[in-house]
Chain A
C-alpha cells in the first residue's frame, strides 16, 4: 500500500521549474511568499500586456477625427476594460506582488504571517481578473467606464451581462486585496527580527504598512457598493435608480470614498521603491527618513478627506466643494516633501546611472508634472473647467505611468537579480528606458492641451476641429513608441533569464536585509542574519569603521 506523499518544498531549489514532475503543482499549491509574489508579478505583467493592447486599439481609433476603426460599442468596452485592467489587475497587484515578495525578506522573516491567506489572496485576485475577462465571451464586456456611474450602470441602460461580471470580478479582486492588506499589516507588526524596530525598517516597508491600512479602510466602501449594484441589477432593487427613489449620487460617494484612497494605494509602495533605489545608487542613506515615513502617514490619513474633489461638478454647493478643495491642497504638502527628500538624497552622492536609477530619476520629474496638474484639480474653478476632459487623462497617466510604473520599472531592474539570480541586460534596459520616456511624453503631454481646448474624455471620436487631429496623431504615435518599449522590456526579461549575468547575493552593494541572502533566496529565506543595529545592517557590516548606529540611525 502506498500513501500520498505530502508536497514539501525542495529546499535546494528556491524556484521549482514547471518542467519537472509536480512542477506546476509546486507553484499552484505554494504558500511561499516568494513564489506567490512572483505569480502576482507575472499575472499583473500579463494583464499589463492585455491592457496595453487595449490602449493601442483606442489610440488607433483616436488617431484621426471621425474614425471608424472601432464601433462606439467596441470602443466603450475597450476603454472600460483598459481602465479597470490597469488599475485593479496591473498597478495594485504589481505593488502587492512586490510587497509580498520583499516585505518578509526586508524584515528578516521566513514568510508572511498567514501563508495560506496569502495564497488565497493571490488566487482570488486571479480568479476575479479572469471572471472580468470572461465577460467578453459571455455576451459583452462592461461598457460604463472604470467608475461605472449609476444610473448608466443600472440594468435599464447597460443591458449586457458585462457589468455583472465587472462587479463580481472586482468583488473577488477586492476581497483578495483586503486579505492581502491584513496579512501585510500583521506581518510587518509581528514578524520583524529582533533589533528591527519600526524606526529601522526600510522605507519600502513603511510605505507598504501605510498602504495596507489604507486598503483596509478604502476597499470596503467599494465592495459594499458593488454588492448594492449587483442587487440593483439582478434583484431589481433601487439603491441607485432615481426613478424609483434611489440616489445615483450615493454611488459616487461610495465609489470615490474608495476611489481616491485607491490613488494613494497605487502610489505609496512605488514611493517606497524609489526610497530604496535612489539611496543605493546615490551611495547615501535616505535624506530625512523620519520625514519621508511621517509624510506617508499624513497622506494615509488625508487620503480619506479628499475624495469629493472628483465631484466638484455635481453641484453640491460651494462650502462642500471648498472643504474638499482645501484638504486636497493640504495633501500636496507631504507629497512635495518627498520629492525634495529624494533630490537631497542624490545631492552630494556618487550616483550610478543604471537603468534602475534612470527610471527613478526621471520618475522625479514625471511625477512632479502629475502632482502639479493634480493641484490644479484642487483649485475648484479650474476643476469645473477641466474635469472629465483630456487634461485629466494626461494628469493621471503622469501619476500612474510616469509615477507608479516608472518606479515599478526602477524596482524591477533593481530586484530582478534578487528574484532570479541574474541581472537584466543594461544594454536593452537603456533602450527600454529611452523608448519609454520618449513614447510616454509624446503620448500624454499633448493631451493636456487637448483637454484645455475642450476635448472630453471617453469619447470614441471627435469632430475635425483645428489642431485636434494633429495632436491626437502625435499621441497615437507616442503610444506605439511605448508599445515598442514594452516589447524591448519583454525581450530583455527573456534573454536575461537565459543568459543574463549572474547576480551574486548583492550586486548593487545595497544595505537592506533582502541582499543578505542568496539570489534567489532559499525557501526559508535566510541561513543566518546579520545583527540589526541600524536602518542599514549591511552598511554596518561593510563599514565597521563608520556604522550607522554610531549616528543613532
Chain B
C-alpha cells in the first residue's frame, strides 16, 4: 500500500497519508496533554485537596464541535476517494478477466480470449481491465495492495472491480478473508506487462504446449491421464495445468516453480501444503521424474 502502481491505489494512499497526518497531530495532542498534566499536577507531600471543578460548558461544546467538523471533512474526502478508487462500472459491461477463489488457489479466466490459468494474473500495462470476482466454495477476498481495494469473493454473488497498472512489474497479493486450513497459501501474483508482451503471452497460452513425443515427458503425459490427475485438474477442484511450466510458483505461492520443487510437491503434497485438496498418490520416484518432466515442459 506504500507503493501504489495504479491511480485507484494512489488515491487511497493519498487519503491514508492525510489521515495519518491528522492522526499524528491528535495523538501528539492527547499524549502531550496527558504527559503535561501528569508532571504538572503530580501530588506533592503536604498539599491539601485541589480546587473542585465540575465542568465547563463551553469547553465541552468546543471539543464536541471541533472533532465533528474534522470528521465532516473526512466524510467528504471519503466520498470523493470512493469514486476515484472504485470507479463505477457501466451495466452490461463484460468482464475482461474472471477470478474465482477456490480452497486454496485462484482460477483466472480471460473470457474474451479464452485463456485459463491459475494464481498468476497477467495484465497489460496502462489498460483498465474489468475483473469479476467469484467464489467456488467459501468466502475469499482478492487483495493486491499495490493495485487498490480488496474485494470479497462470495459464493453465489459476483463482485466487480477495475484492475489497472501504470508500470510493468510483479505485484504480490493474497486471499484476505479467512477461508480455511490453507488460507495462508492462497497468494496472488500479478504480472504487469507491456501490451505487446501480454498479447504474446495470451497467444502462447492458447497454443497447445510442445510435449516431446518420447522420453520422460511423454511418459509423464501418460501418467497424468492414468493416475486420474487430469480429472481434478480440469474440473475445477485443482488448477488447470496445461501451461503450468510457464508459471513462476507452485501451489498458490508456496514454492518457486523449479523441477526440484515440483518433485518435492509430487512426493508428498501434504508436507508442502498440509490440508490442501491434493492427495498423496504415493508415486514412485520414476513416476515423479516423468511427471515433473511433463509438467515442466507444459509451457
Contacts and interface: CB of A to CB of B under 8 A. Distances in A.
Nearest to A460: B184
Contact of B177 (A149, A315, A332): A149
A218 to B, nearest CB: 23
A326 B79 CA distance: 10
B51 A382 contact: no
A380 B82 contact: yes
A248 B154 contact: yes
Interface in A143-164: 143-145, 149, 151-152, 157-158
B226 interface: no
Contacts of B178: 144-145, 149, 152, 388, 457-458
Interface stretch (B19-27, B115-123, B278-286): B19-27
Chain B binding surface, main DSSP class: mixed
Contact of B152 (A315, A337, A380): A315
Interface string B48-73: 01111111100110011001100100
A158 B27 CA distance: 43
A548 B54 CA distance: 9
Contact of A365 (B34, B37, B86): B34
Contacts of A76: 180-181, 183
A375 interface: yes
A388 B150 contact: yes
A361 B37 CA distance: 10
B31 A337 contact: no
Contact of A381 (B47, B85, B139): B85
B82 A249 contact: no
A348 B41 contact: yes
Nearest to A454: B145
Interface in A445-488: 452-454, 456-463, 465
Given A330-B71, A346-B38, A288 B60 contact: yes
Contacts of A337: 60, 63-64
A72 interface: yes
A459 B52 CA distance: 53
Contact of B1 (A71, A341, A369, A385): A385
A301 interface: no
B151 interface: yes
Interface stretch (B9-17, B238-246, B260-268): B9-17
B37 A288 contact: no
Given A313-B152, A344-B59, A361-B38, A283 B274 contact: no
Chain A binding surface, main DSSP class: helix
B155 A242 contact: yes
Nearest to B172: A454
B54 A72 contact: no
Counting chain A CB atoms within 10 Å of each CB, which of B12, B75, B138 scores highest? B138
Interface string A364-396: 110011001101101111101111110000000
B232 interface: no
Given A384-B86, A385-B150, A459-B184, A361 B64 contact: no
Interface in A280-336: 282-285, 287-291, 313-315, 318, 321-322, 325-326, 329-330, 332-333, 336
Contacts of B199: none
Contact of A379 (B74, B86, B155): B74
Given A157-B180, A337-B64, A458-B178, A353 B42 contact: yes
A290 B152 CA distance: 43
B150 A333 contact: no
B105 interface: no
Counting chain B CB atoms within 10 Å of each CB, which of A158, A315, A318 scores highest? A315
Given A72-B274, A333-B64, A365-B30, A152 B139 contact: yes
B192 to A, nearest CB: 16
Contacts, number: 265
A384 B12 contact: yes
B34 A333 contact: no
B112 interface: no
Counting chain B CB atoms within 10 Å of each CB, which of A325, A349, A365, A548 scores highest? A349
B81 interface: yes
A4 to B, nearest CB: 54
Nearest to A311: B152
Contacts of A313: 141, 149-152, 176-177
A427 interface: no
A447 to B, nearest CB: 14
Contacts of A249: 154, 157
Interface residues of A, number: 90
A343 B30 contact: yes
Interface in B170-213: 172-185, 187
A382 B19 contact: yes
A388 B1 contact: no
Given A351-B43, A379-B74, A384-B149, A149 B50 contact: no
Contact of A384 (B150, B157, B187): B150
Contacts of B94: none
A283 B50 contact: yes
A340 interface: yes
B54 A352 contact: no
B177 A382 contact: no
A458 B59 contact: no
Given A332-B71, A348-B51, A368-B26, A382 B16 contact: yes
Contacts of B274: 71-73
B132 to A, nearest CB: 11
B37 A248 contact: no
A385 B149 contact: yes
A194 to B, nearest CB: 23
Nearest to A66: B254
A546 interface: yes
B220 interface: no
A373 B26 CA distance: 12
A350 interface: yes
A372 B139 contact: no
Given A344-B59, A381-B85, A465-B172, A364 B53 contact: no
B155 A381 contact: no
A551 B180 CA distance: 61
A351 B155 contact: no
Given A379-B81, A381-B15, 6 more contacts: A285-B53, A287-B54, A313-B141, A314-B152, A329-B74, A459-B174
Q: List the 6 closest pairs (A to B, CB-CB), nearest first.
A: A384-B149, A242-B156, A459-B184, A315-B159, A288-B55, A350-B43
Interface of A: 71-73, 76, 143-145, 149, 151-152, 157-158, 242-243, 247-249, 282-285, 287-291, 313-315, 318, 321-322, 325-326, 329-330, 332-333, 336-337, 339-341, 343-344, 346-353, 361, 364-365, 368-369, 372-373, 375-376, 378-382, 384-389, 452-454, 456-463, 465, 543, 546, 548, 551, 553
Interface of B: 1-2, 9, 11-12, 15-16, 19, 23, 26-27, 30-31, 33-34, 37-38, 41-44, 47, 49-56, 59-60, 63-64, 67-68, 71, 74-75, 77-79, 81-86, 103, 137-139, 141, 143, 145, 148-152, 154-157, 159-160, 172-185, 187, 253, 274-275
